[in-house]
Structure 1
Amino acid sequence: MIRGVKVVVDNTFAPMVLSPARLGADVVVHSISKFISGGADIIAGAVCGPANLVNSMMDLQHGALMLLGPTMNAKVAFELSERIPHLALRMKEHCHRAMVYATKMKKLGLKVIYPGLEDHPQHELLKSMANKEYGFGGLLCIDMETEEKANRLMNHLQNCTQFGFMAVSLGYYETLMSCSGSSTSSELNDEEQALAGISPGLVRMSVGFVGTLAQKWSQFEKAFSRLQDSELYKN
């Protein structure tokens, strides 16, 4: 707690990679539907914090969780208990592949935004905070500059080479892609998107781990090559 204010951190994007509670956070929340579930088939969330806070939220008369519904479906809870033991293994592979892809994409001449790359402005900061052996996260971005190019690339990746799927979710075992400006951040106006660093052609990619790394990278290369051959990319 800093100056009487509780620090709440949403760690949905980086379970295992970061441990906010060890870094001073009072409360850590997760959308379990993402990486922790890993299967894109569960709707659940978690609020992790000190016992006095959790107990106050579960107070029978005034607790927010009791009033809004705190109890997870028993079947969902059981399924999650079966998946958490291999979360660490899954996160390591998500992060490893994201690092490999980011490095290779940059060599292709693409503008890649990924904190694992040394030229990322917050590379050293995340390196100092992250748990060793878990890399720099399973999400990366490619700036294709225009929405048209972004959509064309994603179309090739999904429909021509089966590299991944166009979807706004993340943390799945398949690679998921979305153009942030026209999907997850579409509620922001152009000025707000620019301030947030979201270009019209920004592609957010949640890196999966199915198939061999060599196979999936070959699929990406083929899709990118098709895009380069198109008139849209040249113009």
Structure 2
Amino acid sequence: MLMDLSYILNELGEDRAAYFNAVAPPIIQSSNFACPTVEEFRYALQHESEVDFYTRGNNPTVDILEKKLAALEGTEHAIAFGSGIAAVSAAVLSQVKAGDHVVCVNKPYTWANALMKKFLPRFGVEVTMIDGTDAENYRLATKANTVFYYLESPNSFTFELQDIAAVAAIAKEKNICTIIDNSFASPLYQNPAAMGIDLIVHAATKYISGHSDVMGGIICGSRETINHIFEREYMTLGAVLSPHDAWLLIRGLRTLPVRMERIAATTRQVIAFLEQRPEVAKIYWPFLPGNPQFELAKKQMRNNTGQFTIQLASEDVPEIERFCDSLQHFLMAASWGGHESLIYPTVASYRDGNYKSNLPYNLIRFYIGLEDPDYLIKDLEQAFTKMKG
């Protein structure tokens, strides 16, 4: 049964009577929780996934966050981590053993890519990277020992989509687990569990936080699978989210709908401006009508979000750098999802005449924050005029 969004964000998991009827939940900054009797201590030892016993396992503030995120994704349960890649890694490691095979979409997030290409092979896990724009490529890459499919829709940087429902259907035919990174769309604009995906991961550092001041990661899934991860990868590796950081993420969730609406509307206006500029050769954005996956984007996602990439018409490194350096209201930074607009230029990987990347060096990834659209458009305009020096 679907819950009302306002109920999830403002009430779910918040037992205000238990903490002096405070409107904002307290930060339970305790590493340890006492038991009054041996019998209760015994129960806690045997059922640590169910009770607050030791904050490396459960904590009341973190519990509130997990309940809200599970509800937002329409899953039975969720578990919070100290970073997005910690969540990705735990989800992946929960499914593999030596001798297994994995099928992963090409060009995932940098550290997910490193996990697949560098880390898993060290432990005897084979990984096949595929073009995820055709769901049948997952089927074609499947082997007898394939244990999970990894999706990231849209992909990082160039934002290709996978047909989530089609990939999930193939996986279910073959009894294969599916994992997706849903950070780009946020739980408001895309719900992969409803399309058949087993595990949904988020970098909560991004939209869920919304303020660029906290790191976090989330895995959402069935209670059985999340408890399995809790008892093994989560408790063993210890990449836990602190109570204070959980409190900051709860605070971020309060404004998630209004932030996402503002970001989506401003992004559309900025894209419309960039479409008219001769300095822009191409725009990578799923919701562009000319994008071959435009209809799939509308089918899978309820709205656009704030990331897109442009390819400048120039291939001159000084011109590209001049454009980036001339922007006054777009910060140059690696992450996204906060209140501030950002760029990430691939030309930053161009050093001493050498370029080490599989992406063109004239790509610039943009993230649109909460600023007024005209404010951002004027900044882009003046930066374009300075490109030629």
Bin of the TM-score, shorter chain as denominator length: 0.7 to 0.9
Q: Secondary structure at the match of 2:262?
A: helix
Q: Among 80, 92, 105, which residue is 2:249 paired with?
A: 80
Instruction: Supply the distance in 1 between the matched residues of 2:363 and 2:229 (Cα, whole angstroms).
Output: 39
TM-score (norm 2): 0.51
Do the aligned partners of 1:38 and 1:171 also contact (CA within 8 Å) in 2? Answer: yes
Partner of 2:237: 68
**Among the aligned pairs, what percent are the same residue?**
25
Match of 2:229 among 51, 57, 64: 57
Letter in 1 for 2:297: L
TM superposition shift of 1:86: 1.1
Aligned to 2:335: 169
Aligned ranges 1:66-215 → 2 under 5 Å: 66-69=235-238, 71-109=240-278, 110-111=280-281, 112-131=283-302, 135-144=303-312, 145-146=314-315, 147-157=317-327, 162-180=328-346, 182-183=348-349, 189=356, 193=358, 198-210=359-371, 212-215=372-375
Query: Is the contact between residue 284 and residue 309 of structure 2 (CA under 8 Å) also seen in structure 1?
Result: yes
User: Matched residues in 1 for 2:367 and 2:201: separation?
Assistant: 20
Distance (Å, rounded) in 2 between the aligned partners of 1:182 and 1:24: 39
Task: State the TM-score, normalizing by the size of structure 1.
Answer: 0.82
Tell me how many residue pairs correspond in the alignment.
208
Distance 1:37 1:102, change over 3 A: same
Which residue of structure 2 lines up, in the alignment, with residue 21 of structure 1? 193
1:117-161: per-residue Cα shift (whole Å, max 9, x none)?
101121111011112xxx32211111024343332211011xxxx
Moved segments of 4+, more than 4 Å: none
1:26–1:50 contact (8 Å) kept in structure 2: yes
- Report if the CA contact (8 A) 2:320-2:347 is conserved: no
1:39 aligns with 2:211: yes
The alignment yields a C-alpha RMSD, in angstroms, of 1.8
- For each residue in 1:100-124, what CA deviation from the matched residue of structure 2 results, as whole angstroms up to 9, or x when unmatched? 1111101122232212210112111
Q: CA deviation at 1:17?
A: 2.1
- Paired letter, 2:253: I
Structure 1, 50-59 or 213-222: larger mean CA deviation: 213-222
Question: How many Å separate the matches in 1 of 2:276 and 2:209?
Answer: 33
Q: 2 CA distance for matches of 1:170 and 1:79?
A: 17
One-letter amino acid of the counterpart of residue 307, structure 2: L
Cα pair 1:172 1:206 within 8 Å, conserved? no
1:10 paired residue number: 181
Is the 2:270–2:373 Cα contact (8 Å) retained in structure 1? no
Q: Relative CO higher for 1 or 2, CA cutoff 8 Å, sep ≥ 6?
A: 1
Name the amino acid aligned to 2:195: L
Residues 267 and 368, structure 2, Cα contact 8 Å, conserved in 1: yes
| 1:151 counterpart letter in structure 2 | E
Mapped to 2, the partners of 1:28 and 1:8 lie a distance apart of 6
DSSP 3-state at the match of 1:57: helix
**CA 1:70–1:50 in structure 2 vs 1: closer, same or farther (change >3 Å)?**
farther
Distance 1:148 1:35, change over 3 A: farther
Deviation sequence 1:150-209 (CA, Å, 0-9, x none): 32211011xxxx2211111111211110113645xxxx955xx1xxxx211100001111
Deviation at 1:70, TM superposition (A): 5.2
Unaligned runs of 5+ in 1: 231-235
Partners of 2:384 and 2:275 lie apart in 1 by: 13
Segments of 5+ residues of structure 2 without an aligned counterpart are 1-170, 350-354
- Give how far 1:26 is off: 0.6
Structure 2 contact 193–200 (Cα < 8 Å) conserved: yes
* Deviation of 1:35 (Å): 1.4
The 3-state SS of whatever aligns with 1:30 is strand
Any idea what SS the aligned residue of 1:48 has? strand
